[in-house]
Amino acid sequence: MAAPAAKPGADEQAPAKKGPGLVVWILVAAVSAGAGFAVPMAMNSGHAAGDGESGHGKSDAHAPKTPVPSKPAFVEFGQLVVNLNDGRLSRYLRLKINLQVDSKHQKDVQDLIAENRLLLQDWLLSHLADKTMEEIRGAAGQNMMRREILEQFNSVLFPDGYDRIYAVRFEEFNVQ
């Protein structure tokens, strides 16, 4: 005979749930978002005011002190005239150079320049004699020369790695 007919809905069982429900995932996402926002704020709360303005009795006695720069001073290097490396034309560059230093190092830098003037001037003449008109033209060319002079002078005068010359200033820059 025929097998008894199955009752409708008897074999249709609800599928077994796998993992946590949707509500749990929403709750986890909300907690994670809140923690992601709150933890960095809590970590920075002691440093956010930083100036002792938080009103919580914090003082800036333990705050790191930044050195206060003294006023700049200028050390005159002097005037140079050098022929440029322009093949068929005879062009020369006339420079008057001043070096910007911290006023508390002015005397030391002046003494070191006086002692090493021959070395610095020889390097400068040789270096500038290799330059072409295109290399020194415009603000970009002048800024490149300033950086090269600054790096060389600091490395010769201060082998300890602590640069005391902060900028090279051209008082005069003429090409003829």
pLDDT value at position 35?
77
Q: How far apart are CA 74 and CA 107, in angstroms?
A: 10
Structural domain range at position 151: 72-175
Backbone angles phi, psi at 97, to 5 degrees: -110, 135
Residue 125 covered by a domain: yes
Which amino acid does the sequence have at 135?
E
Residue 65 covered by a domain: no
The answer to whether 108 touches 165, Cβ cutoff 8 Å, is no
Residue 138 covered by a domain: yes
Q: How far apart are CA 106 and CA 84, in angstroms?
A: 32
Domain of 96, CATH number, reads 3.30.479.30
State pLDDT tens for residues 28-55: 888 888 777 776 666 665 554 444 444 4
Q: How far apart are CA 99 and CA 12, in angstroms?
A: 91
Q: How far apart are CA 60 and CA 2, in angstroms?
A: 93
State pLDDT tens for residues 101-115: 999 999 999 999 999
Residue 146 covered by a domain: yes
**Tokens at 124, concatenated:** 């400068």
State pLDDT tens for residues 91-140: 899 999 999 999 999 999 999 999 999 999 999 999 999 999 999 999 99
Contacts of 77 (CB under 8 A, 6+ apart): 97, 98, 99, 113, 120
Residue 118 covered by a domain: yes
Which helix (H) or strand (E) element contains residue 165? strand 165-175
State pLDDT tens for residues 10-21: 556 666 666 667
Q: How many domains does the chain have?
A: 1
Residue 20 covered by a domain: no
**Tokens at 38, concatenated:** 């709150």
Q: How far apart are CA 137 and CA 144, in angstroms?
A: 10
**Tokens at 46, concatenated:** 């002691």
Residue 95 covered by a domain: yes
Residue 49 covered by a domain: no
